[in-house]
Amino acid sequence: MLDINKMIQDETTYRGDPEGYLVDLPEWSEKIAMELAVQEGISLTPDHWKVIRYLRNYYCGHGPSSSPREALCCLEEEFGDGNGKKWLYRLFPGGPVRQGGKIAGLPEFAHTVDLSFGSIH
């Protein structure tokens, strides 16, 4: 979770919303992704980076109005050879779209807290 006091004291810290999603897309870097992953309890592997890069490209092409279900379907299709949804959830237990998107520096997709979507929140 974002510590607003640290952010105010250290302006070099990236800006995020109260849930920890980055406010400005250009602020994202691989270093920030690694910091966000640590906060999420994830140690990034090459497979994580493939998904993160895919999500960033997906967002650039579809924008903030994109459906999280559509994003998940695209992820499953792209990474189907890795056992699809199960593989994605092993990488990102908090949800490949929600948690993966957060680490990818994307704003939270609308409706990702819907429990029927598979969020743990």
Domain that holds residue 118: 47-121
Share of the chain above pLDDT 90, in %: 37
Sign of CA dihedral 82, 87, 91, 92: positive
Confidence label for 21 from pLDDT (cuts 50, 70 and 90): low
52 Cβ contact list (under 8 Å, min separation 6): 33, 44, 100, 103, 104
Tally of domains within the chain: 1
> What is the pLDDT confidence band of residue 13, given thresholds at 50, 70 and 90?
low
Question: Is 107 or 66 the better-scoring residue by pLDDT?
Answer: 107
Per the domain annotation, does 2 fall within a domain?
no
pLDDT digits (tens, 9 = 90+) for 27-84: 788 999 999 999 999 999 999 999 999 999 988 887 766 788 888 889 999 987 756 8
